[in-house]
Each structure stands twice: as C-alpha cells, then as structure tokens.
Amino acid sequence: MLHMKHIIWDWNGTLLDDLDVSMDALNSILTKEQLPLVLDKDEYRKYFQFPVIEYYKKVGFDFAKTPFPILAQQYMAYYQPHSLQCSLHTGVEETLGKAEQKGYCQYLLSASDLQFLKQQLAVYDISNYFQDIQGLDNIHAHSKAELAKAFVKERQLNPNEVVFVGDSVHDSEVAKYAGCHCILIANGHEHRDKLTKTGRRVVGNIKEFAQLL
C-alpha cells in the first residue's frame, strides 16, 4: 500500500453498512412475488453478484411474470428511504481521516444511481474526504467498469498508484478492467469465500484495511 497514491472506494457494503436493509428490500419483493425469503446473511452473500439482474435470477424471480425493471423499482422504493437510517461501518470515518492524513487522494465510485448516492451521503459528514463522487445514471446496478476506466483515464491517474477498495467480486473485476490494484473487505454483500477466489487481498473489515495504510 505504501506506493499507492489514490484510493477509490466502493459505497454500498464497503463504507455503508446496508446489508440488513438490502436483505429487507429483497424480501419485500420476494414476498410480493410469493417466493421463498432469503433470511440468512451467509445465504444472501452467496447469492449476491453483479450485474444485479443475475442475482435476482438466482433467488427465483421470473422476469416473464414481473420484468426486472419493475422489480428494481420496487426494490428501490423500499431500499432508498430505509437506507437513510443505515450506519457507516465501524471505523469508516477514522479510516478516511487516516488516509487523508497519510496523503492519499480519495474518491467514491458506486454502481448506485448518482442522485440516490448523493441523498445517502448527505446523511453523513464524510463527503469532504472525497475529491470526486461518481455513480451511475440508473437504478439497475449493472456495472461500473466503464465508469471506473473512464474515471482513471480522465483524471490521468497512474493505474499502478490506484487501489480500489470494495466488498464484491465485481470490485475486483472493475479494478482489473481499469488496470488498478484492489483490496476487498469481507463484511459487506459478498461471501468471503467468493472474494478469496479472486486472488485479491481480502481483509475482514475496514479497521483491518486501515492497518495497511
């Protein structure tokens, strides 16, 4: 980590502790569709993946019955207002502060809709740590790979000096696509076993990550 200059943070599950609300939102639409609920966090973490449409298939949604865009809207109708009650993961503010003190440039890049992301960020006093905040222009959480690659290029960042920090296999894929390093945190939305298979360094929580700074 010592040779890194830039940290690009993921938001959901990495900095924002929204696993419970995400499960509740998922179960709210599973209930409407009369499908079995996902009640176990380990089970949820094994199901979860990007693009989100694939994870919806895994839990049993029939898009012929209810199209994915409708399910995504129903999910967000529950998730967004409830997510404003979520806490940050323990140690987030301290870690962002430590990274700033160490001279790292920090950015936030999420697969969330940018407007929703800004609504969430307004709840917390951490926006000043980020030199830029990037999100998608829709609620379908397909991929942020193109966004990440363009961001690194437009900012003229040296990929060898950039580390992506996230909680999903997709974060590893995004980092690879952008030619950057990656560290994964295993207390978010995806199971540690899946993260380990990426070959990336995996830490248990953000406090463990802070020790690498």
Distance between CA 175 and CA 149 in Å, rounded? 8
Cβ burial of 74 (10 Å; 0-12, 13-18, 19+) is middle
The whole-model pTM stands at 0.92
137-150 burial string, b = 16+ CB within 10 Å, else e? eebbbebbbebbbe
CB within 8 Å of 5: residues ≥ 6 apart? 103, 104, 105, 157, 158, 161, 162
Distance between CA 95 and CA 107 in Å, rounded? 14
Which pLDDT score, from 0 to 100, does residue 143 have? 59
The strand pairing partners of 166, in sequence order, are 184
pLDDT (tens place) for every residue of the chain, 213 residues total? 557 899 999 999 999 999 999 999 999 999 999 999 999 999 999 999 988 899 999 999 999 999 999 999 999 999 999 999 999 999 999 999 999 999 999 999 998 888 889 999 999 999 999 999 998 764 444 558 888 998 999 999 999 999 999 999 999 999 999 999 999 999 999 999 999 999 999 999 999 999 999
Which pLDDT score, from 0 to 100, does residue 3 have? 77
Q: Are 117 and 154 in contact (CB under 8 A)?
A: no
Q: Are 168 and 188 in contact (CB under 8 A)?
A: yes
Which pLDDT score, from 0 to 100, does residue 114 have? 87
